[in-house]
Amino acid sequence: MNFNFPLLKPIRILLFPVSLVYALVVKVRNWCFDRKILSSTVFNLPIICVGNLAVGGTGKSPMVELLIRNLRSRLEVAVLSRGYKRKTRGYALAGEQTTALDIGDEPMQFHRKFPDIAVAVGEERIVAIPQLLHDRPETDVIILDDAFQHRAVRAGLNILLTDYSNLFTRDWWLPSGDLRDAPSSYRRADVIIVTKCPEGLSEEERRSIVMEIDLRPHQQVFFTSICYGDPYRINGEGVWRRSTTKWKCCWSRVSPIPRR
């Protein structure tokens, strides 16, 4: 369980009963999807889902950007996000006059960095995907940002991210912990990426994490770290300064441990 702020620890402990109710609701929902009581829609083009099991930043946006950089030279890529904290509702496709108020901060970041690809938002992905394909029929692949819990759409590839400092295996349900989905949901992932690892992570520790996750035969796990670029000024010679960082992924792979 991740208590980042000591002052919040007593409050989170008191909210433990709420966590049990939340867990029950999520488990019933997942059970309904697993038993096909609730249906998942499959679209006739590749869909890549990037998500996590916990709230908070695990590196989803940098991972989406990494996928864009690797795919856009060969395919027509589109990104679909929910559009958190925007002032609009429903489906919206980013254009020349779009602002962060229209689509949200992170989709706007994608749009500015990659103006040649389609960036859209929509609360209901199952509704937004046909609209996106209508607006951009040349689309070859759609990347769903933060949609691992959105089971109404069945992705062809599920990429699950978990923070090295707060693995989903050591966390607990909201609001006592940070989990918004069942830890067992990791089994739906095809690729699991442990993000924000310290440099020089030993082979022994990587294998220990793989054993803790209990990797399924069809899954692969990767370990990534953040490599910061040099800070730079973005407002000319003015007094106010702001530094940004470039994100780069340093990969290492650990194969599944054979089961006895």
Comparing 230 with 83, which gets the higher pLDDT?
A: 83
Question: Does the structure show a pLDDT above 50 at 247?
Answer: no
Q: What is the pTM of this model?
A: 0.88
Domain ranges of the chain: 46-58+147-260, 76-139
Longest dimension (CA), the chain: 64
Question: Does the structure show a pLDDT above 60 at 116?
Answer: yes
Annotate the chain with DSSP letters as a single string: ----SGGGHHHHHHTHHHHHHHHHHHHHHHHHHHTTSS--B--SS-EEEEEESBSS-SSHHHHHHHHHHHHTTTS-EEEEE--TT-S--S-EE--TT--HHHH-HHHHHHHHH-TTSEEEE-S-HHHHHHHHHHH-TT--EEEEET-TT-TTB--SEEEEEEETTB-GGG--BTTTSSBSS-GGGGGG-SEEEEESPPTT--HHHHHHHHHHHT--TT-EEEE--B-------SSTT-S---------B--EEEPPPPP-
HSE value, Cβ hemisphere, 13 Å, CA-based, for 225:
10
CA torsion angle for 161, 189, 109, 4 (degrees, to 10)?
Answer: -30
Structure tokens at 215: 């990797």
Instruction: Give me the pLDDT at residue 5, please.
Output: 54
| Residues 39-78: tens digit of each pLDDT | 999 999 999 999 999 998 899 999 999 999 999 999 999 9
**Exposure string for 226-249, b = 16+ CB within 10 A, e = fewer:** beeeeeeeeeeeeeeeeeeeebeb
Instruction: Give me the pLDDT at residue 66, please.
Output: 93
Instruction: Give me the pLDDT at residue 235, please.
Output: 58
Instruction: Give me the pLDDT at residue 232, please.
Output: 65
> Do 48 and 113 touch, CB atoms closer than 8 A?
no
Which whole number is the average pLDDT over 103-121? 96
- pLDDT band for position 226 (cuts 50, 70, 90): confident
